[in-house]
Amino acid sequence: MSKKLIMFDIDGTLLDHDHKIPESTKQAIQLVREAGHEVAIATGRAPYYIREIRKALEIDAFVCFNGQYVEINDEVIYKNPMQPELLTNLFSDAEKNIHPLVYMGAEAMRSTVENNEIVESCFASLKIDMENITMNPEYFNEVEIYQTLLFCEAHEEVAYQQAMKNLDFIRWHKHSTDVLPLGGSKAKGIEQFMIRQGFKKEDVYAFGDNLNDIEMLQFVGHGVAMGNAPDIVKKSAKYVTKDVGEDGIAYGLELVGLL
């Protein structure tokens, strides 16, 4: 079998419902690596929030911020930052509506508010400590921002979508949505990864479970939706594996013939 590229989402895919990596997942990834295939991560998370996972799985390449930042063996090969003027408009509307934002840079995150229960609950759902996320509403004027989190309800998000046609909004939590550069997606980041590493679509596999995985699952040659994914995500994939908590990764790798 020729060398394949296998991209894995993190939350709900590599991490189970208790935010742990199942032993079956660790073993399966080790086996496909030993078979000569390349393994990488494709996540909405920032690089500094995937270090322990990468270490546990010995993964040296990743697509972060839902495709806006790609790194291979400590080399950044692709960046797609958000335009500061668009972030200025976003901040203005969010401040007017009393909706918090969290700016996501390559080295750190900064919030427009302090001690907000909704923001803290969203991060807690990912088992992420907010201790190092300090307040700095002007952070987007100081560093490149690759993704922004907007904290509002789904019905409130509609007004932002209508007013800001040059940004994409992808909901990841009932209280929060990812804000990305227009057209930005995991698929775009994976495409840059493929170009750099010389992979064709038919040799690329991707596993995911949420709305921000749809473009990725549709783009690669072999999209695999987790059993715990919503129906809309499953319909976008070529294959559907078992729930992440039921050895879904190992089963999915067997399903597509990589184990």
Residues with catalytic roles: 9
Helix (H) or strand (E) holding 259: none
CA distances from 86 to 77, 135, 145, 160, 240 (A): 24, 20, 11, 12, 37
Residue type, position 207, single letter = F
Tokens of 21: 């990596």
Q: Which residue carries 């078992």 as its tokens?
A: 242
113/1 Cα distance (integer angstroms): 52
* Phi, psi (rounded to 5 degrees) for 100: -65, 155
Nearest-angstrom CA–CA distance, 60 and 51? 10
Torsion of CA 116, 86, 195, 189, to 10 degrees: 20
First-last CA distance in the chain: 11
Rounded distance between C-alpha atoms, residue 12 and residue 18, angstroms: 9
